[in-house]
Amino acid sequence: MQHRTFFGGKVTEIPTSLHCDPRGMLTAIEFSGYNFQAVRAFVVTAPRGTSRGGHAHGSGRQLMMQLSGEIGIEFRYQEQVERLTLTASNRAVLVDAAVWALQTYEGENPALLVFCDTEYDPEDYVSNP
């Protein structure tokens, strides 16, 4: 998969590696090529049709990966808008600081895994796009 970027590289789609056998599937992400070192992670689940996020961060980056369902993401940066939908665990998206993001949860049992390269700080949230 090609590394598609938005906003001059502020948002980057990252391919994942799928390894399947009769026991199931393993999905791997390599962080090394992106200068990204996660210090925390969390999983977000929400009922179908629910939107979460709706903010940017003043510092730090987040890597988002769909675990189940479909996750539609709207990104805003300097009055530009881009959208993508994570529909399978075969890609992730790396989001730089200052990029506003709103995730909409669709499909069956939607869940999003998020890795962050900074500790949690509620003062770092930027609500306005």
What pLDDT shows up at residue 12? Answer: 95
Q: How many domains does the chain have?
A: 1
- CATH classification of the domain holding 35: 2.60.120.10
What pLDDT shows up at residue 91? Answer: 82
62 forms beta bridges with: 95, 116
What pLDDT shows up at residue 20? Answer: 92
- Segment 69-118, tens digit of pLDDT: 999 999 999 999 999 999 876 789 999 999 999 999 999 999 999 999 99
Greater confidence, 31 or 8?
8
Spatial separation of the C-alpha atoms in residues 3 and 15, rounded to whole Å: 7
Domain residue limits at 80 = 5-126
pLDDT band at 59; cut points 50, 70, 90? very high
> How many CB atoms lie under 10 A from the CB of residue 98?
14
